[in-house]
Amino acid sequence: MPRHKLIASESDGKDNEFSLYYVEVEENSQGGQEKQTTRDGKRRRERNGEVSRRRASEKRTTEVDTKRAEKKHEKRHKTARKEGEKHEKRQRRKNADEEEAEEESNKEKKNIKNERTKTLRRDDEKEKDVKKKRKKHVKNEEDNANSGKTKQKDCHDMPLKEKKKKRKKPETTSESESKSESDSAPESKDNQAVGVLGSLTPEELEKLKEAVDERKKLIATMRGKPWPMKKKLVVLRSSCVLQRQETLLIISFLYYSNCQKWMKFQRDFENFKTACIPWEMKIKEIESHFGSSVASYFIFLRWMYGINMILFGLTFGLVMVPEALMGKPYGSIPRKTVPREEEASAMNFAILWDFGGYAKYSVLFYGYYNSQRAIGWLKFRLPLSYFLVGVGTVAYSYMVVIRTMARNANEEGGGDDTSFNFSWKTFTSWDYLIGNPETADNKFASITTSFKEAIVEEQESRKDDNIHLTRFLRVLANFLVLCCLAGSGYLIYFVVRRSQKFALLGLENYGWWERNEVNMVMSLLGMFCPMLFDVISTLENYHPRVALQWQLGRIFALFLGNLYTFIIALMDAIQLKRAEEEIVKKNMTIWQANLYNGTVPDNSTAPPITVHPADIPRGPCWETMVGQEFVRLIISDTMTTYITLLIGDFLRAVLVRFLNNCWCWDLEYGFPSYSEFDVSGNVLGLIFNQGMIWMGAFYAPCLPALNLLRLHVSMYLQCWAVMCCNVPQERVFKASGSNNFYMAMLLVILFLSTLPAIYTIVSIPPSFDCGPFSGKTRMFDVIQETLESDFPAWFGKMFSYASNPGLVLPFLLLLVLAIYYLQSTSKTYKRVNMELKKKLQTQNEENKKKNKLAALKAANELEQARKAGEQRSSSSQHTQNSEPPVSSTHTTTRPPASRGHTSSGHLPGHPQQPQKNSHSNRR
Amino acid sequence: MRSDSQGDLRRTLSYFFLHCSLHGRYHELAPHLVPMDYTNDPDVKIPLALIVNMPELKENPFRNRIVESFSEDGQGNLSFNDFVDMFSVLSEMAPRELKAIFAFKIYVHSFRGYFNVDNYICNEDLEKTLNKLTKEELTPEEVNLVCEKAIEEADLDGDNKLSFADFENMISRAPDFLR
């Protein structure tokens, strides 16, 4: 681009703004229209001649012909004008700028009217350059009017860059002008003194600052323009008084320091925020390699971790710590002491591992807590706190689960705009900030996975098989699964009944199998039924996500049997313990009587005999037993999970990997291969585990802590296992909505697990000698007690009024009504939402269609215009050659074009065009 | 005296800025090719192979296309001006519209030289883009499906290729596109 070079070198020499501006403009006029200027005058003459000639010919023809010709003429002009409209606008803008320039340079003001009349004669006293400009402009307009071929040629001939420059120039120059207006004072002073930097007074410096501000604006607008930097520099330099280095300084300053710090800070803050989300990076990595279904399990795990954190905080902060700090110390009372007969083995690891011995008599379990109403200097109401925490954890869990479900449903209802799903994935999925090879690998994997997910969705939506066959197969599959479930349910029932019978007769008389029958049956069922379900589900041919949900639901139903047996066994155990307790109570009075009987004769006034708390007989404390059962269950469950993980996944992967070298078939792709991540099994394990926690947390305050530990470890362990020894599923699918399914199952489990807990709290009296509620007939009496002794009398009275059935029942009714109302409104909203969405979709499609039609029409018009232009040029040629055949050329050139239109461009809603076509067809 | 020192200061500052930020980077890429002194506007260009190895571009699947689309000759040789240009467009300060234009340039594989509305993203461009994005891990059928769907979604005028208007319309609604 030698011209640019010229400018650049010139600009170095001339710092005067005006001269630069003119150079720019000059360049403009030379660049764009150079070729035309030579032909300019000639064409003008030609055109004038043509018009006059045509007029003459038109006069000669008949009326119809005249009309037609006029119409044609008009049309031609119209199309030409349309095409040139933009151009003209530009020109007009340029005119305005020119005027400004003139004003600014104290030249004669130009008349707008004058400008618009497009007269060719120009005031000769104008400056030379201005004249040049105007000339160009006039010629341009003429070009516009002149239509077709020349113009198109003009457009094509003009180098792209020039075209663009012409378009953009006016804005920037106008800005530069406005800027220079503000700068006019120093300029006028320094006009001759070219070195602006030479000497600067404070005022000038101020002015310069202003100028810099203006320039900032200019740069901001310029930044949005798709020009090469070279051109930006030229423009910038031309509009700046400063030297080259300074323009560069400004550019670099603006680009790299002004907002960059803030942006960088924001970005860092975002990064920090992501880094604060626990395990976000791990989960993202897994998601990128294994798809969102596997990631959904980990997200669920993390969510569960959060819930357990809260539960742990509640129990630890409000129950365990106060008791440990302010309650009576270990060994002070019987319930806080290991009994004499257990003392010898209380520290054995096996016993401790089983949560017996010292572990049993500690804050970890219900039995350790004292029934003293207020403890410590804080007068902490421990029994009350214990009860409220128990209720609070359950209430909080309900709240959180339901809230999360509602939020997820919201997200689903809102839905993401999938109108550009694939194109967005193609064009915007790469993150240009990635610079780390590992991250890049992950990104590649995640993009591939997301594409695969989308492809699966698309294929599923396209699939249309034999609907009757699939339906039949699905019914069959469900029937089979139901049979399976019923069979296993009966088996469980049968086994449990049998074991109850055995228990009544005494387990000692039976062998190992009879004793462990229930457990064995349960684990065998748990092992084989899911496999069976998996096989059956291949019949159904569902979308993998739906299949996963079905699978989850079925295994869930199976596991409910597990829960049932467990609860039955627990209830039986409680009954046994309570029977034992009755006996102990009786023995207790006998023992006390014996104690006093033996000592009273010595000295009746002596202080009561102090018996070491370890020696005092005590009840079996069924609450602690229940807590222990739950803790053991959790521990064994955790162990099983980890061991299956290590053996089933890790060992298998190691074997496959290393035996593959010396094996007769391909182990990696053949039979054993690597394992896939079992989403359904893991999710169910997690859910049932949480159910256990909710059930047992009341009797073993340590359960949330244990669970927290378990979740923490399994997060790391499973993340590692997935990344190192699993392979992605064959069909990676998008897990949208799966999370809510998990939540729904969790809610069911929560409900099921709170039922027995509430039952035990409400209907079974607490043990007489252990736990915070000892000595009360029911556990919830603690509320009554608090109301009576800690609150003023009127409050208790009010409470008793409020709790009478006459008030509670209407209140419940009101609640039910409110729920009904809210539910129905939400349903209506949902329906409206769906309808609106549908409407929007159809609207979109319609718009698309309309756009397509419009594009077609535009293409037609363009063609028409081109044809017209061709015809025009040919006609002008003809008119030059000979006058008479004008009409004949019209007839020869016109019809083919219009026929083409009728075939392709018959548009509804555009009646003019068919009319036109019929016109030309008739010809 | 005072003003002189100011001028000096400014001049040194400007050099400092330039050399610290961009020109420094430019110089680093090819120390033997690029002079530090740019007062005489030497005509220096750095070939594509060197630029592609910058840490900013190294992991980018479209690196060759990016450099090519910014180079004036279309071969990927960048002069310093082109280089600054590239940085300014890729900077987070650049406006969306500008980014859209250059993104379009990058995705049209036959694109050389300056921006032109007559260019289209066609099926082959899409295929190339996809293969770069996924490291060719999709099967040809899958690629075809994706291309078909993408064009079907974004094409407004029914010509089975994406014009700039289609592209801009599509990309301006994308949630990932510069937030």
DSSP string, A219-269: HHHHHTS---HHHHHHHHHHH-SS-HHHHHHHHHHIIIIITHHHHHHHHHH
At A800 the pLDDT is 84
The shares of helix, strand and coil residues in chain A, as percent rounded to the nearest 5, are: 80, 0, 20
Same domain (yes/no): B89, B119? no
B140 touches chain A (CB under 8 A): no
Query: Across chain A, what does the average pLDDT equal?
Result: 71
Instruction: Tell me which chain A residue has its CA closest to the CA of residue B176.
Output: A428
Same domain (yes/no): B126, B86? no
Whose CA is closest to A771, among A673, A699, A683? Answer: A699
Higher pLDDT, A616 or A198: A616
Whose CA is closest to A5, among B178, B147, B43, B83? Answer: B43
Instruction: Tell me which chain A residue has its CA closest to the CA of residue B91.
Output: A255
B115/A423 touch (CB, cutoff 8 Å), yes or no: no
Same domain (yes/no): B134, B152? yes
At A711 the pLDDT is 94
The rounded distance, in Å, linking the Cα atoms of A201 and A787 is 84
Angle separating helix axes B164-171 and A421-428, nearest 10 degrees? 90
The rounded distance, in Å, linking the Cα atoms of B99 and B89 is 6
Give the pLDDT band of residue A751 (cuts 50, 70, 90): very high
Higher pLDDT, A775 or A135: A775
**pTM: predicted TM-score of the whole model, two decimal places:** 0.65
DSSP A436: -
Same domain (yes/no): B106, B171? yes
Q: Which of A110-114, A576-580, A613-617, B104-108 has the lowest mean pLDDT?
A: A110-114
pLDDT at B6 over 90: no
Of B6, B94, B174, the CB nearest to A424: B174
Q: What would the two tokens of residue A847 be?
A: 């718009």
DSSP β-bridge partners for residue A548: none
Q: What would the two tokens of residue B114 be?
A: 């300056």
Collapsed DSSP state (helix, strand, coil) of residue A855:
helix
The rounded distance, in Å, linking the Cα atoms of A48 and A251 is 50
CATH number at residue B117: 1.10.238.10
B179 touches chain A (CB under 8 A): no
Q: Are strands B45-46 and A726-727 parallel, antiparallel or unpaired?
A: unpaired
The rounded distance, in Å, linking the Cα atoms of A425 and A451 is 7
User: In this predicted model, what pLDDT tens digit does every residue of A268-314 receive, in sequence order?
Assistant: 888 888 888 888 888 888 888 888 888 889 999 999 999 999 999 99
B172 touches chain A (CB under 8 A): no
At B32 the pLDDT is 75
B158/A233 touch (CB, cutoff 8 Å), yes or no: no
Mutate which of A262, A423, A462, A857 to disrupt the B interface (most B C-beta within 10 Å)? A423
The rounded distance, in Å, linking the Cα atoms of A212 and A210 is 5
Same domain (yes/no): B3, B90? yes
Rounded to a whole number of angstroms, the distance from the CA of A83 to the nearest CA of chain B is 16
At A595 the pLDDT is 76
Q: Which residues of B touch A458 (CB under 8 A)?
A: 145, 149
Q: What would the two tokens of residue A244 be?
A: 């080259």
Domain termination site, one of B94, B125, B147: B94
DSSP A726-770: EE--SS----TTHHHHHHHHHHHHHHHHHHHHHHHHHHSPPPSSS
B146 touches chain A (CB under 8 A): yes
At A882 the pLDDT is 45
DSSP β-bridge partners for residue A726: A675
Chain Cα centroid distance, residue A268: 20
Ramachandran sector of residue A726 (left: φ over 0; alpha: ψ -120 to 50; beta: rest): beta
Q: How many CB pairs under 8 A join A and B?
A: 178
Residue A705: how many CB atoms within 10 A of its CB?
17
At A717 the pLDDT is 92
Same domain (yes/no): B115, B60? no
Q: Exposure pattern of B55-72 as b/e (b: 16+ CB <10 Å)?
A: ebbebbbbbbbbbbbbbb
- Give the total number of structural domains in chain B: 2
Higher pLDDT, B83 or A95: B83
At A303 the pLDDT is 92
Domain termination site, one of B94, B109, B144: B94
User: In this predicted model, what pLDDT tens digit does every residue of A354-409 receive, in sequence order?
Assistant: 888 888 888 889 988 988 888 888 888 899 999 999 999 999 999 999 999 888 87
Same domain (yes/no): B5, B81? yes
**Residue ranges in A14-147 assigned as alpha helix (H):** 17-60, 63-104, 112-116, 128-146
B55 touches chain A (CB under 8 A): yes
pLDDT at A197 over 70: no
Average pLDDT over residues A424-434: 75
Same domain (yes/no): B155, B101? yes
Instruction: Tell me which chain A residue has its CA closest to the CA of residue B1.
Output: A199
Of A160, A252, A416, the CB nearest to B17: A252
The rounded distance, in Å, linking the Cα atoms of A908 and A918 is 15
Q: Exposure pattern of A411-441 as b/e (b: 16+ CB <10 Å)?
A: eeeeeeeebbbbbbbbbbbbebebeeeebbb
Residue A442: how many CB atoms within 10 A of its CB?
19
Q: Which of A519-528, A537-546, A581-590, A602-611 has the lowest mean pLDDT?
A: A602-611
Using a 10 angstrom Cβ sphere, with 0-12 exposed, 13-18 middle and 19 or more buried, the burial of residue A89 is: exposed
At A146 the pLDDT is 43
Instruction: Tell me which chain B residue has its CA closest to the CA of residue A425.
Output: B150
The rounded distance, in Å, linking the Cα atoms of A867 and A700 is 90
Higher pLDDT, A84 or A325: A325
Same domain (yes/no): B88, B59? yes
Question: Which span out of A124-133, A339-348, A700-709 was modeled with the highest average pLDDT?
Answer: A700-709
Rounded to a whole number of angstroms, the distance from the CA of A168 to the nearest CA of chain B is 14
DSSP β-bridge partners for residue B46: B78
Whose CA is closest to A181, among A100, A294, A293, A266? Answer: A100
User: In this predicted model, what pLDDT tens digit does every residue of A25-57 receive, in sequence order?
Assistant: 333 333 333 334 334 444 444 444 444 444 444
Q: Are strands A726-727 and B78-79 parallel, antiparallel or unpaired?
A: unpaired
Owning domain of residue B81: 1-94
At A387 the pLDDT is 92
Rounded to a whole number of angstroms, the distance from the CA of B81 to the nearest CA of chain A is 5
Higher pLDDT, A23 or A334: A334
B142/A452 touch (CB, cutoff 8 Å), yes or no: yes
Helix (H) or strand (E) holding A708: helix A703-725
Average pLDDT over residues A828-850: 86
Average pLDDT over residues A500-517: 73
Rounded to a whole number of angstroms, the distance from the CA of A210 to the nearest CA of chain B is 17
Beta carbons within 8 Å of A231's beta carbon, 6+ residues apart:
A4, A161, A165
Domain termination site, one of B58, B74, B94: B94
Higher pLDDT, A635 or A619: A635
Give the pLDDT band of residue A862 (cuts 50, 70, 90): confident
Amino acid residing at A598: G
Q: Which residues of B touch A860 (CB under 8 A)?
A: none
Tokens 């996975």 label which residue? A449
Rounded to a whole number of angstroms, the distance from the CA of A421 to the nearest CA of chain B is 8
Same domain (yes/no): B87, B120? no
Amino acid residing at A635: I
Whose CA is closest to A632, among A698, A706, A523? Answer: A706
A451/B138 touch (CB, cutoff 8 Å), yes or no: yes
Same domain (yes/no): B89, B99? no
Same domain (yes/no): B172, B105? yes
B134/A422 touch (CB, cutoff 8 Å), yes or no: no
Rounded to a whole number of angstroms, the distance from the CA of B32 to the nearest CA of chain A is 23
Instruction: Tell me which chain A residue has its CA closest to the CA of residue B56.
Output: A435
The rounded distance, in Å, linking the Cα atoms of A886 and A878 is 7
Higher pLDDT, A213 or A761: A761
